[in-house]
Homo-oligomer: A and B are copies of this chain.
Amino acid sequence: MTEAFQPLLLRALAGETLPRPPIWFMRQAGRCLPEYRELRSRAKDFISFCHDPEMAAEATLQPMRRFAFDAAIVFADILLIPRALGQEVWFEAGEGPRLGPLPEIERLAGEVEASTGRLSAIGETLSRVRAELEPERALIGFAGGPWTVATYMIEGRGSDRTGARTFAYEHAEKVDRLLDVLVDSTARYLVMQAKAGAQALKIFESWAEGLAEDMFERLVIGPHKAIVEKVRAAGVTTPFIGFPRGAGALVENYAAKVPVEAVALDTQAPFALGRKLQAQGKTVQGALDNLLLRAGGPALDARVEAYLEAWGQGPYIFNLGHGILPDTPIEHIAHVVERVTRS
């Protein structure tokens, strides 16, 4: 592959500081696009949609046609893993995910090997997208962080996580065993994604917030480290992006201990923190406020410049600090992509 065809995203993940950072946005596929809503209306339900390679590939590619993003991210959901392990998962329209009772952990453990096969449709989606996507644009695979997935499995729905955090104090062994099972199935799932065409792998720990330092070490750092090590042990060298959202000052512990190539920072991350991580050899991704992207105007423009200035001097991937909000005006997205890609 000649230099010209090495996607910018992969160069940034390899630690290169580029003339301009690559850009993609979390939740760029779906949500705010009318063509997505039209596509989605043709599927029976959200889970079926994720497991339909034709539809999921189309949803992955839709934002790539509209915007000059440097990377696509496979359309899928972090709750496909508990479903593949045998816990019931469904989506209530307008309300979000619902899960059946948490099965016995050893029953889940017995399903780990089979779970990867049950997720083969996501591999098929990746292969289709990779075949269609221009070579200079990268394709990202992903999974949820084990702790975040476990909070849904324990609480049965999206929550403030206090139930899951209490459960982690009161049933420590059970939670640790559940995280082991999730680490194992997630690592296998990500190996499969890499083999199917994913050129970067992101771990979305959406609910890393509010954990005390020792709990963060146990519930987030340990499992992420184990996933990366298992994927590497399988001979897969695909770069990782770790996203411990809401980890605050604990991001430094995370970056020091988890061998990911890039750390995705959330909106709250100070510029100095990002620069420190870059100086330590990490690529930084983030962290524009999704509320500001939606609001638009001169404040948005000023903030985009500020990120380019603060983090553009080291290996950097321009992104949001959290996913695009459904009611974000499409022209705001186009405007920011246009600015970053001509920088």
Contact = CB atoms under 8 A, between A and B. Distances in A.
A212 B267 contact: yes
Interface stretch (A2-10, A102-110, A289-297): A289-297
Contact of A289 (B212, B247, B287, B289): B212
A216 B306 CA distance: 15
Contacts of A213: 268-271
B166 A268 contact: no
A233 interface: no
A247 B273 CA distance: 13
Nearest to A161: B291
Interface string A151-175: 0000000000010011001101000
Interface string A167-203: 0011010000000000000000000000000000000
Contacts of A170: 295, 297
Nearest to A302: B214
Interface string A211-242: 11111100000000000000000000000000
Contacts of A250: 268, 270
Which size bracket describes the interface of A in this complex?
35 or more
Interface in A121-162: 162
A268 B209 contact: yes
A302 to B, nearest CB: 9
A339 interface: no
A66 to B, nearest CB: 24
Task: Report the copy number of this chain in the oligomer.
Answer: 2
A248 interface: yes
A93 interface: no
Contacts of A246: 209, 248
B172 A212 contact: no
Interface in A245-295: 246-253, 267-271, 273, 287, 289, 291-292, 294-295
A169 B292 contact: yes
Interface in A299-343: 299, 303, 306, 321
A210 interface: yes
Contacts of A321: 212
A268 B247 CA distance: 8
B289 A268 contact: no
A321 B209 CA distance: 13
B295 A169 contact: yes
A321 B165 CA distance: 14
Contacts of A216: 268
Interface of A: 162, 165-166, 169-170, 172, 209-216, 246-253, 267-271, 273, 287, 289, 291-292, 294-295, 297, 299, 303, 306, 321
27 contacts: A162-B291, A165-B289, A165-B291, A169-B291, A169-B292, A169-B297, A172-B299, A209-B209, A209-B246, A210-B267, A210-B268, A211-B267, A211-B268, A212-B287, A212-B292, A213-B268, A213-B269, A213-B270, A214-B303, A214-B306, A247-B268, A248-B251, A248-B269, A249-B252, A249-B269, A249-B273, A250-B268
